[in-house]
Amino acid sequence: MATATYSPEYLAESRTTVLNIFYSIPIPLEIFSTAFRLWVKARPSSQGHLAFDDYLMVWATMVAVAECIAGLVYGAPNGLGRHIQAVPLEYRQKFLMGDYIFSHFYDVAIASTKLSILALYYRIFATDRFRIIVIITAIFVFMWLVAMEVVLGFGCQPVQGWWDASVAATASCVNKVAFTYSTNVTNLITDLWIFAMPIPIIFNLQASLNKRLALCFLFSIGLGTCALSAARLSVVVSVGSDDITWREVPLGILSAWEPCGGILCANLPLIYRAVVRGIKQIRSTVRTSRTRSRHISTRPNSPYLDWTRLHDGASSNNCATSKVTVTRGLTDQTEMDTIGPNGIKVQRDIKQEFHREDSDKLSDKMFS
């Protein structure tokens, strides 16, 4: 039987650089996102209270980071990203062992992120019927995780059949492609269900249409991760390829980014207010810097930058303004009477009204 020969160019092809980059980027994103969430929740204004969903998110982040590290350790150094004909047999076995470990981390990270989102739903939506649906969904997600781990643990007898070619020849194993397909299909359906769950509740809130649409966007933005799940489903066939170390690169990258996308989307509803507030402060600082650069003089400690000089600096010691009235709006008036050449008395009547809606109560629950 003739042995196939491969050109040096074919054997030299490599995706290892791209692979390592896409395994590395999710690590700081996941850590920063969850750390920011904990910082927001730990602030005095949030009463420094961490809830069960926060602890689940910390656990999900740890597992997702471990998954990326496993990809970096067992992937490219053991042949992932190169054609299998250029990878020695011992490295192939190390790669398949790492792929087995990687799969465990993937399942746990995905399930933990979903459970954290469901715990957040249970905490902020105080509707009995909705909470029952949340509990049933959480039980399904947990049972899905148990089923995946059981199949990974006992799907090959002996278990070394997952990665040892000498054992795989006589081992009894499940169909790896079919198992991976079933994992992704159930995962995709669960994603669609979980991220769509709160939309009917939000539309029934006593709030303006714009606020309800904004809340729907925040809670359903995780549907974007479904695109990653769908893309991953399209490359699942690579696990049965004869050139698995080359063909499985897209699957490995998507498997690292899917938990990352879920974590970012799950953290967004809790950190968006702090992000918006920070952006506004940055804009205000930039405006203030521009104003100072134009040498516009303002009264010290005045909250209004449009109150510039009330007198001519050259004649301030000899002239005094008897009365200045500033009207802001229809009823907001400020009166100033001179009490001397260098002093001003300010009298102002302010009327403030506060209106709170159900959407505000929802935001308070999210941050408490």
What would the pLDDT profile of 22-71 be if each residue is shown by its tens digit? 999 999 999 999 999 998 888 766 666 888 999 999 999 999 999 999 99
* Of the residues 281, 298, 314, the one at which a domain ends: 281
Same domain, 317 and 276: no
Q: Are 83 and 243 in contact (CB under 8 A)?
A: yes
pLDDT above 90 for 228: no
Same domain, 18 and 122: yes
Rounded Cα–Cα distance for residues 140 and 111 (Å): 10
pLDDT band for position 256 (50/70/90)? very high
Same domain, 239 and 319: no
Same domain, 233 and 326: no
Least confident stretch, 25-29, 65-69, 201-205, 251-255: 201-205
What would the pLDDT profile of 302-350 be if each residue is shown by its tens digit? 444 443 344 444 444 444 444 545 555 445 555 555 455 555 555 555 5
Rounded Cα–Cα distance for residues 15 and 80 (Å): 8
Q: Are 82 and 44 in contact (CB under 8 A)?
A: no
Of 40, 100, 29, the closest CA to residue 262 belongs to 29
pLDDT band for position 18 (50/70/90)? very high
Mean pLDDT of the chain: 78
| 366 within domain boundaries | no
Same domain, 198 and 232: yes
Q: Tell me what pLDDT residue 350 has.
A: 55
Same domain, 64 and 197: yes
pLDDT above 90 for 225: no
* Of the residues 234, 264, 281, the one at which a domain ends: 281
**Burial tier of 50 (Cβ tally within 10 Å: 0-12, 13-18, 19+):** middle
Q: In the chain, how many domains are there?
A: 2
Of 93, 95, 70, the closest CA to residue 81 belongs to 95
Q: Tell me what pLDDT residue 1 has.
A: 42
Same domain, 131 and 246: yes
| 185 within domain boundaries | yes
| 362 within domain boundaries | no
Please give, one letter per residue, the 3-state secondary structure of 11-62: HHCECHHHHHHHHHCHHHHHHHHHHHHHHHHHCHHHCCCCCHHHHHHHHHHH
- Residue 362: what residue type? L
Same domain, 178 and 44: yes
Q: Are 166 and 142 in contact (CB under 8 A)?
A: no
| 292 within domain boundaries | no
Q: Count CB-CB contacts under 10 A for residue 284.
A: 10
Range of the domain at 319: 306-347
Same domain, 44 and 137: yes
Which residue pairs, CB below 8 angstroms and at least 24 apart, start in 236-240? Answer: 236/177, 236/180, 236/181, 236/184, 237/177, 239/176, 239/177, 239/180, 240/176, 240/177
Both structure tokens of 303: 């909250």
How does DSSP classify residue 336? E
The CATH number that applies at residue 155 is: 1.20.1070
Q: Tell me what pLDDT residue 114 has.
A: 94
Same domain, 18 and 148: yes
Same domain, 251 and 310: no
**Burial tier of 361 (Cβ tally within 10 Å: 0-12, 13-18, 19+):** middle
- Residue 233: what residue type? L
Q: Tell me what pLDDT residue 304 has.
A: 42
Angle at alpha carbon of residue 198, lines to 197 and 201, rounded to 5°: 125
The pLDDT of 102-112, averaged and rounded, is 94
pLDDT band for position 21 (50/70/90)? very high
| 144 within domain boundaries | yes
pLDDT band for position 2 (50/70/90)? very low
**Burial tier of 211 (Cβ tally within 10 Å: 0-12, 13-18, 19+):** middle
| 2 within domain boundaries | no
Least confident stretch, 51-60, 142-151, 230-239, 316-325: 316-325
Same domain, 17 and 64: yes
